[in-house]
Amino acid sequence: MNYWLVKSDPETYSWDNMKNENTTVWTGVRNYQARNNLKAMKKGDLVLFYHSQSDKSIVGITKVVKEYYPDPTSDDKNWVVVDLQYYSDLIKPIPLDKIKNNPNLSNIALIKQSRLSVLPLTKEEYEEITKNSK
């Protein structure tokens, strides 16, 4: 199993949207590195859901239920999507400041590649982030 983090502006698509829909197509990724990360996702992988912009917090966990296929919002077949499904709430959101101040997360892609919208996590990073939050 692999671990990931996806970012969404809560004003565009929030954790509440994810929970209400239960399953969503993760569309609109237009960065090659983020696209390659989508292509690497496997069914059953766990994905942290991060509110970017205003909240800057990890707010929940989803899982990959369908591996990559062409993005239906683009005519360019280079862009892909995955299907994500609601998996779990967190006890409370995990703010970016808390992640930045955790020495065990000093190399996390969320900090090192802050503009990337689909990020890989190590198992250790995932466990460190979620250890007191589920």
Q: Extract the residue ranges of the chain whose pLDDT is less than 50.
A: none
Class for the domain spanning 3-122: alpha beta
User: Would you state the pLDDT for residue 54?
Assistant: 87
User: Would you state the pLDDT for residue 97?
Assistant: 96
User: Would you state the pLDDT for residue 86?
Assistant: 98
- The region that residue 47 occupies, defined by phi over 0 for left and psi between -120 and 50 for alpha, beta otherwise, is beta
Q: Residues 126, 105: contact at Cβ < 8 Å?
A: no
pTM for this predicted structure: 0.96
Tell me the Cα Rg of the chain. 14
pLDDT digits (tens, 9 = 90+) for 27-62: 999 999 999 999 999 999 999 999 998 899 999 999
Measure CA 115 to chain center.
Answer: 13
Cα–Cα distance, 43 to 113 (Å, whole number): 25
Q: Residues 8, 49: contact at Cβ < 8 Å?
A: yes
Place of tokens 């859901």: 49
User: Would you state the pLDDT for residue 87?
Assistant: 98
Helices marked H in the chain = 15-21, 32-40, 96-100, 109-112, 123-130
